Amino acid sequence: MSKFRKEGKKAAPGISTASLPDIVFMLLFFFMVTTVMREVSLKVKISPPKATEITKLQRKSLVAYIYIGSPTKQFIRQLGSEPRIQLDDAFARVDQIPEWVAKVKSETAEVEIPLLTYSLKVDKNTKMGIVTQVKQELRKAEALKINYSTLKGSEFKRK
Amino acid sequence: MSNEINAGSMADIAFLLLIFFLVTTTMDVDTGIIRQLPPIPPPDMPPPPDVNKRNVFVVLVNANDQLLVEDQLSDISVLRTQAKEFIKGYPDQPDNISFPAFENEEIPFFGTRPVSKQIISLQNDNGTSYNMYIQVQNELAAAYNELRDELAKEKFGKSYDELANSKTEADKAAAIKKIYPARISEAEPKETGQGQKSTTP
Q: Is residue A4, in this structure, part of any structural domain at all? A: no
What total of structural domains would you count in chain A?
1
CB contact under 8 A, A51 and B137: yes
* Single-letter code of the amino acid located at B66: Q
Q: Is residue A6, in this structure, part of any structural domain at all? A: no
- Domain extent, residue A144, equals 44-150
Question: In angstroms, what separates the C-alpha of A5 from chain B's closest C-alpha?
Answer: 23
Q: For the segment A73-108, what is each residue's pLDDT rounded down to a tens digit?
A: 888 888 888 889 999 888 999 999 999 999 999 998
DSSP characters over B6-40: --HHHHHHHHHHHHHHHHH---PPPEEEEEEPPPP
Q: What is the pLDDT of residue A53?
A: 86
Q: Residue A121's closest CA among A112, A134, A136, A108?
A: A134
Q: Is residue A38, in this structure, part of any structural domain at all? A: no
For chain A, say whether B33 makes contact (Cβ under 8 Å).
yes
Question: In angstroms, what separates the C-alpha of A74 from chain B's closest C-alpha?
Answer: 17
Q: Is residue A27, in this structure, part of any structural domain at all? A: no
Spatial contact of B10 and A21, defined as CB atoms under 8 Å apart: yes
* Single-letter code of the amino acid located at B71: D
Q: Is residue A124, in this structure, part of any structural domain at all? A: yes
Residue B138: its chain A contacts at CB < 8 A?
A: 51-53, 150
For chain B, say whether A87 makes contact (Cβ under 8 Å).
no
CA atoms A88, A130, B134, B147: torsion sign: negative
What mean pLDDT is reported for chain B?
A: 83
pLDDT-derived band of residue B13, with 50, 70 and 90 as boundaries? confident
For chain B, say whether A142 makes contact (Cβ under 8 Å).
yes
Q: Is residue A39, in this structure, part of any structural domain at all? A: no
DSSP characters over A91-134: EE-GGGHHHHHHHHHHTS-GGGGGG-EEEEEE-TTSBHHHHHHH
Report the residue of chain A nearest B34, measured CA to CA. Answer: A147
Question: In angstroms, what separates the C-alpha of A89 from chain B's closest C-alpha?
Answer: 16
Q: What is the pTM of this model?
A: 0.78
Report the residue of chain A nearest B132, measured CA to CA. Answer: A124
Q: For the segment B43-102, what is each residue's pLDDT rounded down to a tens digit?
A: 888 877 778 888 889 999 988 989 999 888 989 889 999 999 998 888 888 788 888 888
* Single-letter code of the amino acid located at B30: D
The interaxial angle of helices B130-156 and B76-88, nearest 10 deg, is 40
pLDDT higher than threshold 60 for residue B196: no
CA distance A147 to A154: 18
Q: Residue B160's closest CA among B144, B173, B174?
A: B173
Q: For the segment A64-82, what is each residue's pLDDT rounded down to a tens digit?
A: 999 999 998 888 888 888 8
Q: For the segment A16-70, what is each residue's pLDDT rounded down to a tens digit?
A: 777 777 888 888 888 878 776 666 788 888 898 999 888 888 777 788 999 999 9
- Going by DSSP bridges, is the β-strand pair B119-124/B184-186 parallel, antiparallel, or unpaired? parallel
**What is the percentage of chain B residues whose pLDDT exceeds 90?**
19
What's the CATH code of the domain at A50?
3.30.420.270
CB contact under 8 A, A129 and B129: no
For chain B, say whether A113 makes contact (Cβ under 8 Å).
no
Q: Is residue A156, in this structure, part of any structural domain at all? A: no
CA atoms A125, A129, A131, A132: torsion sign: positive
CB contact under 8 A, B11 and A21: yes
For chain B, say whether A145 makes contact (Cβ under 8 Å).
yes
Question: In angstroms, what separates the C-alpha of B198 from chain A's closest C-alpha?
Answer: 5
CA distance A68 to B189: 19
